[in-house]
């Protein structure tokens, strides 16, 4: 095998990019999303579609402010820590963290106060005045999540993903246990839907606080020295002004591009409810449809990101280090494999979610009437999964080589498409306009990002191996699985038929991907870390 192209010959930290860091974050994200989905199902059942709408409205405002306050600085922190580590500057990494934690403290406190002080105005802005209490309940979370994000960015700069993973799981499980318990208690007291939703959202605040406490304890016992060779450490460190200047130069563009992307959800929050009134729905119907759209559709098409985003997040400090070392070959290998890996995962996820939208929602035991309404919306929105994956990975490429400003343009273009299409389609065809405009938004942004990457970073892998082969494998495996589902669902319970069909689709897809050599042996070695899994695949005749 050509050693030049064999990623197994990279240093241990690079080799473990997709094996340890990504594996840990993927597992954590899977657990977090699974717990979050359970929370959404329970919420939908406890408070109904209207209560879920109140919860979602307040949560989306928090999510947008969360992105503004935390999207850029953790990325800047991980990039700067990776740079300083590559130069042996131990003292500088500590100084960078000290400056960042003060910034995060100020930002988090300010946004918490803003949410409390302007809760009524924010709730009126989205056309749901009843959500003001929910906004107040979730406001302290801004301070806690800012401090958590700072510590996560620091650990990720050292390519340590476990602290982030554990804290995310603590947040998720606490959110469900505390939030649903409070919701049931409020419901038993006969509270109105908006009050029950506000008690539920207190679970988010409590969960984030507990996750932050874990990270703080982990940081106290963290020893940076063991990540530096004694003969490589130098005491050189830049001034506060120089560090702050670089931090903001990276963080501000990343924050703007991320906030514009999150703005698409806020546009839905504001426009869906208002434009559906123009479409001719009454206020109660609007609340019900909006609650179903946010709690079922948005939750489901975001699920595949449990695999997509860890790759993008883990990649940033690694490509940054390779960029600092001017290792062009390493950058090219990582860029090629990670982009194809994203597409290989995202494409069948999008297609499978679209084909099995109704069966998946039924399997998760949402209310029958909600499933009936939401499944066509999810079938359309599922196409966004592929484009979201491409946006995540191409943003990472651009951020890693100092082109943080470019994603702003693509995100603004996508948000503009979303704004215009939402305004037109929601009033013409109802709720279906929201998923259509979402797909158009992410398609626009991902296309522009690809153009930027090719122009300023480097070529992406060929279309045949990246798109055509995974598409053929997806169509074959999911088509066969859908046919099987239609046949066996007449003889066994639909839930069992759905689970069996999905497992068969996944198995067929993996076999086809391996048999067609869409993924090479050297790339499989990155994923599995050693040769044992490869030997087993050969024994099973899955690998040629």
Report pLDDT digits (tens) over 487-526. 888 888 888 888 899 999 988 998 888 888 887 766 666 5
How far is C-alpha 39 from the chain's CA centre? Answer: 17
How far is the C-alpha of 532 from the C-alpha of 511, rounded, in Å? 18
Instruction: Look at 24-38, 76-90, 230-244, 419-433 and tell me which has the smallest mean pLDDT.
Output: 24-38
What is the band of 252 on the pLDDT scale with cuts at 50, 70, 90?
confident
Tokens of 342: 């994203």
187-196's contacts with Cβ under 8 Å and 24+ in sequence apart are 187/46, 187/47, 193/47, 193/48, 193/50, 193/51, 193/54, 193/130, 194/51, 194/54, 194/130, 194/131, 194/133, 194/134, 195/133, 196/46, 196/47, 196/51
The confidence score (pLDDT) of residue 42 equals 66
Q: What are phi and psi of 229, to 5 degrees?
A: -80, 135
Interval 301-327 mean pLDDT: 67
**Residue 280, phi-psi category: left (phi > 0), alpha (psi -120 to 50), beta (remainder):** left
How far is the C-alpha of 11 from the C-alpha of 85, rounded, in Å? 15
Contact criterion met (CB below 8 Å) for 314 and 400:
no
Mean pLDDT, the chain, whole residue set: 79
Report the predicted TM-score, pTM, of the whole model to 2 decimal places.
Answer: 0.70
Give the chain's radius of gyration (CA, Å): 23
The confidence score (pLDDT) of residue 339 equals 86
Place of tokens 């603590």: 170
Contact criterion met (CB below 8 Å) for 84 and 161:
no
Interval 288-312 mean pLDDT: 73
How far is the C-alpha of 526 from the C-alpha of 407, rounded, in Å? 29
Q: Which residue has the higher pLDDT, 193 or 313?
A: 193
Tell me whether residue 484 is exposed, middle or buried, using C-beta atoms within 10 angstroms of its C-beta: 0 to 12, 13 to 18, 19 or more. Answer: middle
How far is the C-alpha of 179 from the C-alpha of 207, rounded, in Å? 9
- % of the chain surpassing 90 pLDDT: 13
Tell me whether residue 504 is exposed, middle or buried, using C-beta atoms within 10 angstroms of its C-beta: 0 to 12, 13 to 18, 19 or more. Answer: middle
Residue 416 scores a pLDDT above 80: yes
How far is C-alpha 525 from the chain's CA centre? Answer: 25
- The torsion of the CA quartet 272, 278, 280, 284, rounded to 10 degrees, works out to 50
The confidence score (pLDDT) of residue 500 equals 92
What is the band of 477 on the pLDDT scale with cuts at 50, 70, 90?
very high
The confidence score (pLDDT) of residue 12 equals 42
226-229's contacts with Cβ under 8 Å and 24+ in sequence apart are 227/85, 227/158, 228/85, 228/88, 228/90, 229/88
The confidence score (pLDDT) of residue 517 equals 80
8-state DSSP, 11: -
How far, CA to CA in Å, does 199 sit from each of 134, 193, 195? Answer: 8, 10, 6
The SS3 call for residue 10 is coil
Residue 19 scores a pLDDT above 60: no
Give the up-direction half-sphere exposure of residue 386: CA atoms within 13 A in the CB hemisphere. Answer: 23
How far is the C-alpha of 194 from the C-alpha of 47, rounded, in Å? 9
Largest CA distance in the chain: 72
How far is the C-alpha of 118 from the C-alpha of 518, rounded, in Å? 53
How far is C-alpha 54 from the chain's CA centre? Answer: 23
Interval 443-470 mean pLDDT: 88
The confidence score (pLDDT) of residue 263 equals 66
Give the up-direction half-sphere exposure of residue 513: CA atoms within 13 A in the CB hemisphere. Answer: 25
């Amino acid at each position: 095998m050509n050693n030049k192209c064999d990623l197994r010959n990279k240093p241990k930290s690079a080799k473990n990019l997709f094996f340890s860091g990504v594996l840990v974050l993927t597992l954590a994200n899977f657990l977090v999303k699974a717990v979050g989905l359970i929370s959404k199902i329970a919420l939908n059942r406890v408070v109904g579609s209207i209560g879920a709408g109140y919860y979602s409205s307040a949560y989306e405002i928090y999510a947008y402010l969360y992105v503004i306050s935390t999207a850029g600085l953790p990325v800047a922190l991980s990039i700067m820590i990776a740079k300083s580590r590559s130069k042996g500057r131990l003292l500088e990494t500590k100084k960078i963290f000290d400056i960042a934690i003060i910034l995060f403290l100020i930002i988090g406190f300010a946004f918490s106060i803003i949410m409390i002080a302007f809760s009524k105005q924010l709730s009126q802005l989205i056309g749901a005045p009843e959500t003001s209490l929910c906004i107040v309940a979730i406001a302290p979370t801004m301070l806690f999540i800012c401090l958590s994000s700072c510590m996560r960015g620091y650990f990720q700069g050292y390519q340590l993903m476990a602290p982030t993973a554990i804290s995310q799981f603590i947040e998720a499980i606490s959110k469900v246990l505390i939030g649903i318990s409070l919701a049931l208690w409020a419901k038993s007291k006969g509270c109105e839907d908006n009050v029950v939703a506000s008690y539920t959202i207190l679970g988010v605040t409590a969960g984030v606080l507990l996750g932050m406490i874990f990270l703080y304890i982990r940081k106290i016992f963290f020893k940076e020295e063991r990540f530096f060779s004694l003969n490589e450490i130098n005491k050189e460190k830049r001034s506060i002004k120089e560090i702050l200047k670089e931090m903001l130069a990276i963080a501000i563009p990343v924050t703007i591009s991320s906030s514009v992307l999150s703005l698409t959800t806020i546009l839905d929050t504001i426009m869906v409810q208002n434009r559906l009134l123009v479409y001719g729905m009454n206020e109660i119907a609007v609340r019900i449809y909006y609650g179903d759209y946010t709690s079922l559709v948005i939750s489901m098409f975001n699920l595949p990101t449990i695999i997509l985003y860890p790759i993008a997040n883990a990649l940033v400090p690694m490509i940054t280090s390779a960029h600092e070392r001017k290792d062009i070959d390493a950058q090219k290998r990582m860029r090629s494999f990670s982009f194809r890996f994203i597409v290989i995962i995202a494409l069948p996820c999008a297609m499978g979610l679209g084909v099995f939208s109704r069966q998946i929602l039924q399997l998760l035991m949402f209310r029958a009437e909600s499933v009936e309404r939401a499944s066509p919306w999810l079938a359309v929105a599922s196409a966004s999964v592929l484009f979201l994956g491409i946006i995540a990975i191409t943003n990472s490429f651009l951020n890693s080589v100092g082109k943080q400003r470019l994603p702003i343009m693509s995100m603004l273009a996508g948000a503009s498409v979303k704004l215009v299409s939402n305004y037109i389609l929601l009033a013409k065809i109802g709720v279906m306009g929201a998923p259509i405009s979402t797909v158009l938004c992410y398609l626009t942004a991902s296309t522009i990002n690809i153009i930027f990457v090719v122009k300023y970073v480097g070529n992406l892998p060929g279309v045949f191996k990246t798109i055509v082969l995974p598409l053929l494998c997806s169509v074959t495996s999911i088509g066969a699985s859908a046919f099987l589902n239609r046949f066996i669902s007449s003889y066994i319970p639909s839930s069992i038929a759905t689970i069996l069909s999905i497992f068969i689709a996944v198995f067929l897809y993996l076999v086809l991907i391996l048999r067609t050599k869409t993924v090479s042996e050297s790339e499989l070695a990155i994923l599995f870390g050693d040769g044992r899994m490869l030997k087993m695949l050969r024994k099973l005749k899955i690998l040629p």
